[in-house]
Amino acid sequence: MARPASLHPTDGELEILHVLWADGPSALSAICDQLRAHREVATTTVATMLRIMLGKRLVARKGAGRAARWTAVVTHQAAAHGMVSKLVDHVFDGAADRLAAHLVEGGRLSEKQLAELRKLIGQQTKLKRAKKGARR
C-alpha cells in the first residue's frame, strides 16, 4: 500500500522554498542556479518537484513556459510550525516540553539563545497570568 502524500515539505522542497523565500518570485532557471550553488541538480528534477509542490499548495505559478514565475505560498513561519508540530507529535509523543528539554540539554544553544528562551518564557508566563486574571 502506498504511503499517503505528506503536506509537509520534504528536504528537497525545503531547499526550493528557501530560495523562493530569499529571492521572491523566480523563474525555474534562477531557482536551479541558486540550488546549484550548493549541489548539482537537474532542471527537470526541479521542475518536477515544483509541480508536486504546486499540488501540495506550497508554491504558485504565474505564467507559462520559460516565462513562468514561481512563488512560495506557504510562509517560512507556517512551514516551521507544521514541521515542528509533526516532530513534537511523532518523536516526543506530543510533549513540547520534552523537545525544549532536548534542545537545552543537548548543549547546542548558546548563552545568548538560552537568554532569549528565558525572556520568551517570561513573556508567555505574564501573558497566561494576564489572561487568567481577565477571566476571573
CATH of domain 11-72: 1.10.10.10
Q: What is the pLDDT of residues 12-71, one digit of tens each?
A: 999 999 999 999 999 999 999 999 999 999 999 999 999 999 999 999 999 998 889 999
Would you list the domain boundaries of the chain?
A: 11-72, 110-136
Q: What is the pLDDT of residues 57-107, one digit of tens each?
A: 999 999 998 889 999 999 999 999 999 999 999 999 999 999 989 988 988
Residues ≥6 apart with Cβ < 8 Å to 96: 88
Contact indicator for 15, 40 with CB cutoff of 8 Å: no
The interaxial angle of helices 11-23 and 43-55, nearest 10 deg, is 90
